[in-house]
Structure 1
């Protein structure tokens, strides 16, 4: 009976697709789990602090590298239109990366002094390179969502983790410091572009490019750059600004502790959550706006499964965080384990609620998403503003930030459910 239930379960395309993507992230997680204890023994908290600041800058800049037109690739009415959206994204990415390059070429000293991390100035040229690779990977990933090539996405997730972490170990062995972490990260994030772009190239999609159609699609999906781009930017600022604020208020070492704890806590939960969210977006886009009731049923079942998966890591980190970090990563990283106890709540809420909020894009409700992300940024600024004004230590500051984020994730989920309920009423 149990075997038959399992067979029936894998006949469900949604479950099968989650398995394909999640299996890749599970392997990537294993690679990260194995390699990070080695990485932390080659790099100091200060060097890791420089790296996490770089990562935050890259995350902020890359989130709007194609003005979020890539969101339109899975939901375009035809393949020809989707192809022209890809070319639209590439053109925007080239212009955007060039602007970043020129800005850093002229003003890198002033920018990194303002951010409180002058060490990054010597690596400024790696920032536009990193943004370019992330942007290219992202747009071809959305092309793969359209084609439902979830197995290919799974393979690239593994290759990214493998090449990124192995490169960091190799550069650490050569004593290359923060540069080794940064360049290794670029190598990892660029891995998989060839695999994801294969179907695009093999189908001779280049011949379908048409300037008038590119312009037409840019107008058709104008809501994405108007609402989604600033919304996602605000969302990313809410996630990444804490690293910059922590660097400014408490120094690179504390930023390094925070960065490692956030990275490690996010490995088992955020990667799987992201994969599930991506599959949910692909399936919801496929179902379309005509059947919101089915999407709601899918989201409710998904939430229950995510809670069941995430509760065990949460309890484990709360009880044993500092001891585990000291044992696994070395005695220098005990403090990161204390931060992990606090951050665990934030990641748990993100894991539960974020995948389902992809429906904002499915129903083109970008304006509401923009308002919610503005709310998120305001709470982050308030949390660190209070921390500076009251002169809180780093533990209380991170705790206040985590609480703010838990509130944001919960409110965003409730509003997403409201959108679904409103769409169901329209039927």
Structure 2
């Protein structure tokens, strides 16, 4: 796991390092289009796998893992063809004019990304299954290097979307690795038979029925803001928002994942003791707040100057947005490592309700841009609502732990 984290850290560092150059080579409008493309592609790619990729790691049989990889590739290819056809229909009917995407995005780039994403997921879960983490970490670093190099290299060719093409090239590397693993398993022609795929789908229908909707909803709620900003405000503002969120989220996500792994191990050891679990959660929150207070505080009071210096004078607006979002990102940073406690406590239904509520209030908040509400007001409203939701999310978990403690004390007294 430490190798995976190290590879992820290096890959993130490479991506951020290239950003210092890319923001001087690409305009905010180009970043806006890129952010919207990635948002739409991420939602569609998540849905296209049917969550069958989880079978690769969760099922012990290599036979089932092999068929899961085949199912993922088949679903992704079919979904990509469907999106491409929809893109051509929207082009000929003129409907594409109402979307902040180009015709090439829908017809070529998003379908290609969906296929690459499917292969990448196969490679990820196959690497975890076979404990070949070092291989995966190396490919992730190679992906970041290839992606950044191509984005920088073709930046002068303004007739092509360099950010998008570079990203697809990087994900293509992961797709090739995933495809190689599947081909190495053999029996591809047999597994591609319709009867085999149908039987597999019926056997594991709980994955697309229960896991996929949660993941798609979570992805949609995270990507909706940039899409709505690009649609109703401008691509430039969407680009500023995307860069601000990326720079605040990426380093925090790496640290948060490391702490989350420790918390999951702790839950496995002491998860049946509500007092210990509650104490651990509070200690993690306090530690994460103390760790994040200085970096997020610096952004809060000087984000516009910092972004202007690091990324160029065109990006001071992104720094100002980062100032607005810094309190929210600090709250996410502190809360994220313990969010898996809902699974331990059997609170999946409550977690689904919070996920649904997040999608609703994010879409509603950023949808205000359609009525002429300025972006500063929208960001402030988003921060207030989501920080309140994060606090409520954790209070509900603490209340459940308190109730379990009372039940434990009563049973001991009896």
TM-score (norm 2): 0.82
Task: Work out the CA distance in 1 between the residues paired with 2:199 and 2:65.
Answer: 12
TM alignment of 1:179-194, pairs within 5 A:
179-194=161-176
Higher alpha-carbon Rg: 2
Q: Do the aligned residues in 2 keep the contact of 1:49 with 1:255 (CA within 8 Å)? A: yes
Cα deviation 1:132-174 (Å, max 9, x = unaligned): 11122123212323333332332233222211111111111x3
Task: Work out the CA distance in 2 between the residues paired with 1:416 and 1:355.
Answer: 13
Task: Work out the CA distance in 2 between the residues paired with 1:111 and 1:407.
Answer: 38
Q: Do the aligned residues in 1 keep the contact of 2:121 with 2:178 (CA within 8 Å)? A: no
Query: Which consecutive unaligned segments of at least 5 residues does structure 1 have?
Result: 1-16
Task: Work out the CA distance in 1 between the residues paired with 2:67 and 2:346.
Answer: 20
TM alignment of 1:136-285, pairs within 5 A:
136-172=119-155, 174-176=156-158, 179-195=161-177, 202=184, 204=186, 209=191, 215-273=198-256
User: C-alpha root-mean-square deviation of aligned residues, in Å?
Assistant: 3.8
How many residues matched? Answer: 401
Cα deviation 1:165-194 (Å, max 9, x = unaligned): 11111111x333661111111112233344
Secondary structure of 1:319's counterpart equals: helix
Q: Do the aligned residues in 2 keep the contact of 1:146 with 1:282 (CA within 8 Å)? A: no
Q: Do the aligned residues in 1 keep the contact of 2:228 with 2:366 (CA within 8 Å)? A: yes
Cα deviation 1:360-388 (Å, max 9, x = unaligned): 77899765544332211111133134555
> Alignment partner for residue 377 of structure 1, among 356, 359, 362?
359
Q: Do the aligned residues in 2 keep the contact of 1:265 with 1:340 (CA within 8 Å)? A: yes
Cα deviation 1:86-116 (Å, max 9, x = unaligned): 222222212211111111121146453223x
> Alignment partner for residue 404 of structure 1, among 385, 389, 395?
385
Q: Do the aligned residues in 2 keep the contact of 1:21 with 1:275 (CA within 8 Å)? A: no
Counterparts in 2 of 1:354 and 1:244: CA distance versus 1, 3 Å: same
Secondary structure of 2:58's counterpart equals: coil
1:114 paired residue number: 98
Cα deviation 1:230-258 (Å, max 9, x = unaligned): 22222112111111211223211111111
Query: Which consecutive unaligned segments of at least 5 residues does structure 2 have?
Result: 409-414
Q: Do the aligned residues in 2 keep the contact of 1:51 with 1:182 (CA within 8 Å)? A: yes
2:313 paired residue number: 331
Task: Work out the CA distance in 2 between the residues paired with 1:158 and 1:311.
Answer: 29
Q: Do the aligned residues in 2 keep the contact of 1:168 with 1:181 (CA within 8 Å)? A: yes
Task: Work out the CA distance in 1 between the residues paired with 2:52 and 2:404.
Answer: 24
Counterparts in 2 of 1:180 and 1:400: CA distance versus 1, 3 Å: same
Cα deviation 1:342-375 (Å, max 9, x = unaligned): 2223333333434544577789976554433221
Q: Do the aligned residues in 1 keep the contact of 2:73 with 2:115 (CA within 8 Å)? A: no
Secondary structure of 2:14's counterpart equals: helix
Q: Do the aligned residues in 1 keep the contact of 2:243 with 2:318 (CA within 8 Å)? A: yes
> Alignment partner for residue 328 of structure 2, among 331, 341, 346?
346
Q: Shift in Å at residue 282 of structure 1?
A: 9.6
TM-score (norm 1): 0.79
Secondary structure of 1:392's counterpart equals: coil
Counterparts in 2 of 1:403 and 1:208: CA distance versus 1, 3 Å: farther
